[in-house]
Amino acid sequence: MKFRTSCYSLSGASAVLCIFAIWASMNLDAPYYLAFDWLPKVGLRISFRVDSFSLFFVTLICGIGSLVFFFCAGYLPGDKSRSRTLSILLLFTLSMLGLVLSDNVLLLFIFWEFTTITSFFLVGAKCEKKEAREAALQALLVTVAGGMALLVAILLLFMAAGTLELSSLEANRQLIQDSPLYPVILILIAAGAFTKSAQFPFHFWLPGAMTAPSPVSAFLHSATMVKAGIYLLARFHPILGETVLWHDLLIGIGAATMIVGASLALARTDIKALLAYTTVSALGMLTFLLGLGTTLAMKAALVFLLVHACYKAALFMVAGSIEKLAGTRDLDRLHSLGKMSPALWCAAALPALSMCGLPPMLGFIGKELIYEAKLIAPTIDELFLLIGFTANALTVTAALLAAVKPFIPRTMDSPPKRKLTLPLLAPPIILGIVSLACGLFPTWVGDNLLEPSFQALKGEPSQIKLKLWHGVNPVFILSVLTLVTGALIYWIHSYFARMVSVVERWSSPFAPERLYAQLVKRFVQFASLQTRLAQNGSLNFYLTVTLCFASLLLAAAFFSLPEKAVDLSLLIHLKTSLIILGAAAAAVLSIRAQSMLEAVLLLGVVGLGVTLFFVFYGAPDLALTQFLVELLLLVLIASIWSRLPAFRPDTPKREKRRDLFAACILGVFLSYFVLQAVFLNEHNAISEFYAQNAATEAFGRNVVNVILVDFRALDTMGEITVLAIAMMGIMSLLKTRKTKR
Amino acid sequence: MSPFLLRTSVKFIAPIQLALALYFLLRGHNEPGGGFIGGLAAASAVLLYGLSFGIQEVESKLPVSWFSFALFGLSLAVFSAFISVFVNQPFFTGIWGPELYAPLVGKLKLGTVLLFDIGVFCLVMGFGVGLGFTFFAKEAER
């Protein structure tokens, strides 16, 4: 009950935000900026920009998000990781909102990676299943690789334009396009967007990610996350667009993705896989339109974004409900669902109509616009028109497969009626009604949502009015032809599916997923080889290597010293020499120790000697720290006492000699440099600065601590983070052992 | 040896050690001490207590795990660094508040830097105790 309540409240909050975004989009005249200085010295800012294009995405994210949270209340109960899934979904929503609202590209990148990471956990939600884990890893690796490309592109952009704010990058458009770095930047940014938006040849992670729970697929893999790549390309269109390279790259990849996705879809029998491949195809269509880049194409892309988000999210949710109803998603086994739950059929039919592009759904308007954009575009080949036509026809077939085939009866017997709970039915129906309403009142949607976002993106009005009925013209005829072809293919789809499977099998050695698998396998092999060589598990070996390398470095430094004299006056003091003698004696005795206890205690004495040294030479902080660390080490060693390997005082002679040699060399060099330090410390400007400013600037008289927590607090932050990570590693290592036994 | 002697003495020593740890933490800005040292001292106090009275005795008194405690410290440190951003100063700028007079410690100036130090304290303490106790627990299993 409690879980449902949180679902409903999240849903309500998103709905409110969605309505607010629509209202803001209607009333926003100029972009609203919000910025904090982060590190002004290196020009890093946290800056957000709210314009109508961002708000359009906010509307999509919150609107779909609201319904998905509602759907969760029906779908997730019974799942034992439900609370985790819900909270990660919330995190994902927030990072997605951050992504579309950030003005600074680095900030955008951070949110971008956040969506990748949260998506990893969501895809792997059923982490007890091997395929879920593998799919999650695959999605993560592919998108992270793209993310790295994006990061490099951002750095190059900064080199070319000297700014990281999207708004000022737009002003520097000419500078960037004339820069010799331009092709590299474009290709890297495209790589980031293509991996995220599952473009060919990176498309394979998206169908794999269908192991995720249905609400996740409805949210991430249809409406929002995969659209992040499209968002990025659209945002960068005013900066990088309208060049030959942009045009060719996006159109080529987009067309390939469109046709590959649509054809592969028909060979799938899992509803979710089928929908995933049609999503790939739709994303290809969006990339294609952005590649065209004409006013009409951009507008069509915006309309299609809305259309696709509405119908695809709804169909994914229907797929989830079908799974709940019939216990399977396999198209070959599903039938007669229409009799079992007429409401569900209705929920599937409305979005499917929009997907087919039938009037009066919004999908019809979207498809008309796309055809129009392609027909009047001056620069594209007829071939692309054919590809687009085929992809659309195959999409119609896929829609029929998803929303008709499982529902019609194949046998005479009628299965019992079953009622689905409201959260499983209402969200897809609402989305279907939204599609219908938008189709019936296209002018309202166009004027209040799409036109402002177009203006925000391009800086000028599009002058294109959305209309449901354009009369009988070439575009309309194409639309009708698409529908008829799609229906015909549905009739013979089993033959078509068999054909696609044959081609798939024939081309499988060259398939990108095979390549990915090979790459991962080789990488793991290399890693294990490298681990065997460098980390053979012998502490002795590690120490020897580390010490020898340190000695080498010190030796190199020694031979490059101009002045080799050493100040030995330090050793003359009685106190000092006594401490040194004591510590040295303990060290020598520890070598000869006959038991572990003896060795540990003697080493403790060496440590205490060093502590005393610090005490006498004015470093009480160091002394305290050293003392406490010695103490803790002793306690820790005591706690693992019986686990330590047997003490071997009788190590082979050869090994002993080798260790002695390594230790002596390092000892000699280190002592030499410690004594040399008196001469070396010539540039003491920094320590002087700290000493002088600690009290006045940072209000502290203890310079050491002031450096730690104020002057160099960022270093401390890094160190404590490392501590936390180390702790996590050690604890999980120790705990996994425990469960295995 | 009966742990009686150990337990009786630890009962007295551990609170003093903890107090000393806090003392180190608070006076750290002006005299030797600070979050790191204080954290180490506090960790050794708790470890000593756990060693003589058993881990359950300590962990039953604490509502959260030591790992969460350490993470709390890390978040506190991060949060303290962010405060300056919200008053439109660069990240990590020290924001100072009023100066107090605390007994034993002397003058104590409140500010984000102190908060950061407390974060370091919690993290180091959680780290030390968490690791030590995990080792103890492994040991007790055998």
What single-letter amino acid sits at A365?
I
Q: What is the DSSP annotation of A207-248? A: HHGGGS-HHHHHIIIIISHHHHHHHHHHHHHHHH-SSHHHHH
A720 closest CB neighbour out of B31, B120, B138 = B120
Question: Is residue B138's pLDDT more than 80?
Answer: no
Across the range A115-122, mean pLDDT stands at: 93
Which pair of tokens denotes residue B2? 């009966």
Summarised one tens digit per residue, pLDDT across range A365-412 is 888 888 888 888 776 677 888 888 899 999 999 998 888 888 888 776
User: Hey, how many other C-beta atoms are within 10 angstroms of the C-beta on B93?
Assistant: 17
B130 to chain A, any CB pair closer than 8 A? The answer is yes
Enter the DSSP assignment of A330: B
More confident of the two residues A279 and B138: A279
pLDDT confidence of residue A656:
82
Beta carbons of A640 and B139 less than 8 Å apart? yes
Residue B91: left (phi > 0), alpha (psi -120 to 50), or beta? beta
B118 to chain A, any CB pair closer than 8 A? The answer is no
B36 closest CB neighbour out of A625, A724, A738 = A625
Highest mean pLDDT among A377-381, A430-434, A703-707: A430-434
Beta carbons of A709 and B120 less than 8 Å apart? yes
Beta carbons of A698 and B94 less than 8 Å apart? yes
Q: Return the percentage of chain A with pLDDT > 70, whole number.
A: 96
Tell me if A343 sits within 8 A of A395, measured CB to CB.
no
A693 to chain B, any CB pair closer than 8 A? The answer is no
B109 to chain A, any CB pair closer than 8 A? The answer is yes
Question: Is residue A724's pLDDT more than 70?
Answer: yes
B90 closest CB neighbour out of A39, A641, A738 = A39
Rounded to an integer, what distance in angstroms lies between the CA atom of residue B103 and that of residue B43? 24
Cα distances (angstroms) measured from residue A486 to each of A262, A398, A483, A498, A620: 12, 8, 5, 17, 82
Tell me if B105 sits within 8 A of B57, measured CB to CB.
no
Across the range A218-231, mean pLDDT stands at: 89
A624 to chain B, any CB pair closer than 8 A? The answer is yes
Across the range A110-128, mean pLDDT stands at: 91
Rounded to an integer, what distance in angstroms lies between the CA atom of residue A444 and that of residue A693? 63
Say which residues have a Cβ less than 8 Å from residue A33's Cβ, sequence separation at least 6: A47, A48, A49, A50, A103, A167
**Torsion angle defined by CA atoms of residues B64, B70, B72 and B74, in that order, rounded to the nearest 10 degrees:** -170
Using CA coordinates, name the residue in chain B closest to A697. Answer: B94
B135 closest CB neighbour out of A36, A636, A701 = A636
Give residue limits of the domains in chain A: 262-272+281-491, 685-741
Residue B58 binned pLDDT confidence (cut-offs 50, 70, 90): confident
Which pair of tokens denotes residue A511? 């398939």
Range scoring the smallest mean pLDDT among A66-80, A269-283, A559-573: A559-573
Question: Comparing C-alpha atoms, which of A171, A282, A178, A267 is closest to residue A230?
Answer: A282
Residue A695 binned pLDDT confidence (cut-offs 50, 70, 90): confident
B34 closest CB neighbour out of A623, A708, A738 = A708
- What are the φ and ψ backbone dihedral angles of B91, each rounded to 5 degrees? -45, 135
Give residue limits of the domains in chain B: 4-141
Q: Residue A719: helix, strand or coil by DSSP?
A: helix
A727 closest CB neighbour out of B96, B116, B127 = B127
**Taking all residues of chain A, what is their mean pLDDT, rounded to a whole number?**
86
Summarised one tens digit per residue, pLDDT across range B28-40 is 777 777 888 899 9
Beta carbons of A643 and B139 less than 8 Å apart? yes
Across the range A561-582, mean pLDDT stands at: 76
Using CA coordinates, name the residue in chain B closest to A629. Answer: B40
pLDDT confidence of residue B133:
86
Q: Residue B109: helix, strand or coil by DSSP?
A: strand
Beta carbons of B24 and A631 less than 8 Å apart? no
Task: List A residues 25-64 in contact with B (Cβ-Cβ < 8 A).
Answer: 36-41, 46
Beta carbons of A629 and B92 less than 8 Å apart? no
| Burial of A62 per CB tally in 10 Å (0-12, 13-18, 19+) | buried
Side-chain-side CA neighbours of A713 within 13 Å: the count stands at: 27
Beta carbons of B89 and A37 less than 8 Å apart? yes
pLDDT confidence of residue A302:
92
Across the range A11-16, mean pLDDT stands at: 93
Range scoring the smallest mean pLDDT among A541-550, A652-661, B73-82, B122-131: A652-661
Range scoring the smallest mean pLDDT among A478-482, A508-512, A549-553: A508-512
Across the range A652-656, mean pLDDT stands at: 82
Summarised one tens digit per residue, pLDDT across range A129-187 is 888 898 999 999 999 999 999 999 999 999 888 888 888 888 888 888 888 889 999 99
**First-to-last C-alpha distance (Å) of chain A:** 37
Q: How far is B88 from chain A (nearest CA, A)?
A: 6
3-class secondary structure per residue, A465-530: CCCCCCCCCHHHHHHHHHHHHHHHHHHCHHHHHHHHHHHHHHHHHHCHHHHHHHHHHHHHHHHHHH
Alpha carbon of residue A399 to chain centroid: 30
- What are the φ and ψ backbone dihedral angles of A326, each rounded to 5 degrees? -110, -10
Question: Is residue A491's pLDDT more than 90?
Answer: no
A492 to chain B, any CB pair closer than 8 A? The answer is no
Rounded to an integer, what distance in angstroms lies between the CA atom of residue A435 and that of residue A437? 6
Range scoring the smallest mean pLDDT among A100-114, A423-437, A570-584: A570-584
Tell me if A279 sits within 8 A of A312, measured CB to CB.
yes
Residue A649 binned pLDDT confidence (cut-offs 50, 70, 90): low
Question: Is residue A556's pLDDT more than 60?
Answer: yes
For chains A and B, count residue pairs whose Cβ atoms are closer than 8 Å: 153
In this prediction the ipTM stands at 0.88
Across the range A440-445, mean pLDDT stands at: 87
**Taking all residues of chain B, what is their mean pLDDT, rounded to a whole number?**
83
* Chosen from A46, A47, A705 to mutate, greatest number of chain B CBs within 10 A: A705
B32 closest CB neighbour out of A40, A702, A717 = A702
Rounded to an integer, what distance in angstroms lies between the CA atom of residue A31 and that of residue A102? 12
Question: Is residue A682's pLDDT more than 70?
Answer: no
Question: Is residue B67's pLDDT more than 70?
Answer: yes
A639 closest CB neighbour out of B37, B117, B136 = B136
Question: Comparing C-alpha atoms, which of A465, A519, A135, A164 is closest to residue A303?
Answer: A465
Beta carbons of B36 and A629 less than 8 Å apart? no
Beta carbons of A639 and B135 less than 8 Å apart? yes
Rounded to an integer, what distance in angstroms lies between the CA atom of residue A511 and that of residue A504? 8
Beta carbons of A721 and B33 less than 8 Å apart? no
Residue A731 binned pLDDT confidence (cut-offs 50, 70, 90): confident
Using CA coordinates, name the residue in chain A closest to B117. Answer: A709
